[in-house]
Structure 1
Amino acid sequence: MKEAINQSRLPTPKTIFLSLIILSLFILIFLSLQSHNSLQKPISTNPTHGLKIRPGYTSYDTYIHHQLQKTTNPKLRKIWTTRDWARKIRVFQRFFNRLKQEKLLSTTSKALCIGARVGQEVEALKRVGVNNSIGLDLVPYPPNVIKGDFHYQPFDDETFDFEFSNVFDHALYPDKFVGEIQRTLKIGGICVLHVAVSRRSDKYSANDLYSVEPLKMLFNGSELVRSRKVDGFGLDTEVVFRKKKS
């Protein structure tokens, strides 16, 4: 009788099978959550290597929401489209004219401005003769700026001859920011970044850059053409890369 009772307490094959299914489901859910969290978690970069990701972003959605607070700010957008409009276009024209003189930009270039806000740099490109130009930003500003995330550019591979950006400090994932530039640039295409090689005071910045060395490592499919000091609306360094053959 005692032996019969003990045998009845033993798990049946059906019970074991159901238990394995439930355990497998729990493992799959756990791994899925871990994978999702790893995609959302900002990369950790050693500040001694010249690039540091700012803390505080608990998810990618949090980061996007924070960036939109600046981009959609009605007071800032009014300033960008009125008081700052002509002044910034003039400064950008000087930068682009120099690049044309250096044969790094031409009137036949297909150009992209990344993080273009209301598109002063796009307008400046068109005024120096680069008519096939467009801007990309989280908030569109037709006709010069379309909607898009610079971590996931909405363009095909090797679309552009020239890409310009002065918002590298706003990239939560610098590797994806640069990776998308290299993906959408044609072979021999030129990328120009304006960056601040110092700790940034902008509360919307997502990273701090302390030298151009991290950029050289990130642009692993490109060669450094040159870097020079500039005065570009709080940004002090212009870095130029050319995409190499794979």
Structure 2
Amino acid sequence: MKTTQTKPPILRKCFLLSLLLSLPFFLVLLSLQPKHHHQNTTDPPPEKQSYGSGDLKIRPGYPSYKSYIQRQLKKTLNPKLRELWTTRDWDRKIRVFAIFFQDLKQKRLLSNESKALCIGARVGQEVEALRRIGVSDSVGIDLVPSPPLVMRGDFHNQPFDNETFDFEFSNVFDHALYPDRFVAEIERTLKPGGVCVLHVALSRRSDKYSANDIYSVKPLVEMFKGSEVVHIRGVDGFGLDTEVVFRKKRPIPRS
């Protein structure tokens, strides 16, 4: 009669010990994986979500968040565009952004002491403009990093702690597939009293890589639940015509 062979106790112990020792390694690997916003299976598709009584519409054609990221990367990694951004457009855009930011400094919405973030900064013209006018503690985020000005980051899930920045600027709101998440991350990472400046296109539609179209500032005002509007004005910002500025509310002190 055959008897069932079992592993010696010492081998079982070694096996269990190796599992325990390898667990931290696997946890570290998981922590290094890109963290993107994932749509909940119970949520409606992005284009079915309504904002501001129809004044903000999500464009169709994104069956998954992965497909959305791939489409955004198609523009960001386009070698011809990147060469254009870093050569012919470089100084021109820095000069224009510097004028915008200098005006905000005069309005006391930005200072040299501000810790500033540029969202969707591509190759970093906005960051360079901030640094040239004296706001030295400035950084940008984009899906593709462009050191030393721009680090890797998804604006639907900013890689920063709560209440990190005094000032945040973005002219890529139209690229947000989940605008409410885009805004929530700004409010999360802004300090109380911090300022957010958005440049958007209301009178014309954005480029083919945009994920949404906005027709009034109403959806923005509704989504910035923890902030108040500072001003709304017309601008000429590389195809964007409206500047909307919000200030994050300070907590009401308890009596």
Q: Residue in 2 aligned with 1:158?
A: 163
Aligned residue number for residue 16 of structure 2: none
**Equivalent residue runs for 1:160-179 within 5 Å:** 160-179=165-184
Unaligned stretches of 5+ in structure 1?
Answer: 1-34
Report if the CA contact (8 A) 1:198-1:208 is conserved.
no
In the other structure, the counterpart of 1:147 is: 152
CA contact (8 A) 2:62 2:68 kept: yes
User: Match of 1:234?
Assistant: 239
Q: CA deviation at 1:198?
A: 3.2
Paired residues for 1:111-126 under 5 Å = 111-126=116-131
Q: 1:80 aligns with which of 68, 85, 103?
A: 85
Q: Does the 8 Å contact 1:222/1:242 carry over to 2?
A: yes
Give the equivalent residue in structure 1 for 2:41.
37
1:196 maps to 201
What's the CA shift for 1:44?
1.3
SS at match of 2:41: helix
Q: Which residue of 1 aligns with 2:95?
A: 90
Match of 1:53 among 49, 58, 71: 58
What SS does the corresponding residue of 1:122 show, helix, strand or coil? helix
Q: Which residue of 2 aligns with 1:132?
A: 137
- TM-score for both structures, normalised by structure 1: 0.83
Structure 1 pair 46–112 and aligned structure 2 pair: CA distance change class (3 A) = closer
- The ranges of structure 1 where at least 4 consecutive aligned residues each deviate by more than 2 angstroms after the TM superposition are 35-41, 46-49
TM-score when normalising by structure 2: 0.80
With over 3 angstroms needed to count, the CA separation of the structure-2 counterparts of 1:138 and 1:242, relative to structure 1, is same
| Partner deviation per Cα, 1:140-197 (whole Å, 9 max, x = no partner) | 0000000010000000000000000000000000000000000000000000000001
For residues 95-140 of structure 1, the C-alpha deviation after alignment (integer angstroms, 9 at most, x for no partner) is: 0000000000000000000000000000000000000000000000
Query: How far apart in 2 are the matches of 1:201 and 1:103?
Result: 30
Identity, % of aligned pairs? 70
State the one-letter code of the partner of 2:244: V
Report the equivalent of 2:225: 220
CA contact (8 A) 1:122 1:135 kept: yes
Taking the aligned partners of 1:188 and 1:82, their CA distance within structure 2 comes to 37
Task: Please give the alpha-carbon distance, in whole angstroms, between the structure 2 residues aligned to 1:200 and 1:72.
Answer: 23
Q: Which amino acid aligns with 1:41?
A: P
Larger radius of gyration: 1
Displacement of 1:41 in angstroms is 3.2
2-structure distance, mates of 1:226, 1:201: 22
Task: Give the RMSD, CA atoms, in angstroms.
Answer: 1.4
Q: Is the 8 A contact 1:199 1:209 kept in 2?
A: no
- Residue 163 of structure 2 contacts residue 191 of structure 2 at CA under 8 Å; is this kept in 1? yes
Distance 2:184 2:52 in 1: 21
Whether the 8 Å CA contact 2:171–2:199 is kept in 1: the answer is: yes
Give the length in aligned residue pairs.
212
